[in-house]
Amino acid sequence: MSNTTWIVGINPVDGALDNDAERVRELRIERGARNARVAELAARARKQGIAVTECARDQLDRVADGARHQGVAASYAAPEPLGEQELAEMAEQAGPGALFLVLDGVTDPHNLGACLRSAAAASATAVIVPKDRAVGMTPVVRRASAGGADRVPLVAATNLARALRTLKDAGVWLTGFAGEAETDLYDIDLKGPCALVLGSEGEGMRRLTRETCDFLARIPMPGAMESLNVSVSAGIALFEALRQRRG
């Protein structure tokens, strides 16, 4: 099963051609564009047997749906997001190094894309979102992920609390993030299989999500700000887990 979407922008299209070229159906480039990188992408696509079409800029504007396309877009047969039934096997295959990022209610496409980028950089096992409370894999998400959307599995859970319980049954410890938590992130042991659970910026984690977590932690902020952007928080948490595991 797959659905056709558009990947726009030089880096996202480059990532698709590198990692998943068999799903790229067509490349569209702006007619008369003189960008050397766009020309290189077109040449590579032709070499891989992918149709390349020159078109007017307004046509690219339409398929980009608000994302900055830089004169190039790729029609992409995206796989359906994985379901929560895949989680137990993912955790088993990852073993002690399992590292999941769970986003409860992140609906801003730029935030979801940035979280996917950080998760890919940290070599996370998967990013988990609720099926009905996430933005979905839009062109803006893919653009913001800078190729991360093609490098880390995305799991869309029909029931997020049930998905979290599946992880717990597979031996994964769940750490939820809340500003009022008493324990600092740096005092939580993240060296074993773990999932980092973050809520939306406005409401945070939902009650059932919060209650399912094994631990609650906060990111210490000695400055004047009370909160961080969710994608920044996700990056801090992921790379703290990596720092601990280096030892």
pLDDT at res. 2: 53
Dihedral of CA 132/117/29/64: which sign?
positive
- pLDDT higher than 50, residue 1: no
Report yes or no: 117 and 146 within 8 Å, Cβ to Cβ: yes
Write out the binding residues.
199, 219, 228
What are the tens digits of pLDDT across the range 120-155?
Answer: 999 999 999 998 877 777 777 877 887 788 789 999
Q: 247 pLDDT exceeds 70? A: no
Q: Longest C-alpha distance within the chain, in Å?
A: 58
Domains (ranges, CATH) in the chain? 2-79 (3.30.1330.30), 84-245 (3.40.1280.10)
In the sheet with 2-8, reading across from the earlier edge strand, the strands are 2-8, 72-79, 24-30, 51-55
Question: Which residues, 6 or more positions from 88, have their beta carbon under 8 angstroms from its beta carbon?
Answer: 166, 169, 170
> What pLDDT was estimated at residue 90?
96
Predicted TM-score (pTM) of the model is 0.81
What pLDDT, in 10s, does the model give residues 179-202? 888 999 999 999 999 999 999 877
16-49 pLDDT, tens digit per residue, is 898 778 889 999 999 988 899 999 999 999 999 9
- Which residues are annotated as part of the binding site for S-adenosyl-L-methionine? 199, 219, 228
- For the segment 77-125, what is each residue's pLDDT rounded down to a tens digit? 877 778 889 999 999 999 999 999 999 988 888 899 999 999 999 999 9
Pairing of strands 2-8, 72-79: antiparallel
Task: Write the pLDDT tens digit of every residue in 62-72.
Answer: 988 777 899 99
Q: What is the mean pLDDT of the chain?
A: 90
